[in-house]
Amino acid sequence: MTIKWRSQLILKSTEAEQESEIAVLKNMLTLQQQQLERIENLLSQRQLLS
């Protein structure tokens, strides 16, 4: 295994790890956006009632 080949392999695995981290962060962001929408809906319902 040449040094160049090994370094390319390490780069590829690092890219894959970063892509999976990005996917996790996007999912977390989506969940936070949904929670924010629910909170906004609850607040607007409260304002309608008062």
pLDDT of residue 49: 85
Number of folded domains that form the chain: 1
| pTM across the whole model | 0.69
Average model confidence (pLDDT) across the chain? 93
Domain around 3: 1-50
At position 42, the amino acid (one-letter code) is L
Residue pLDDT, tens place only, 30-42? 999 999 999 999 9
CA distances from 6 to 12, 15, 22, 41, 49 (A): 10, 14, 24, 53, 65
pLDDT at 50: 80
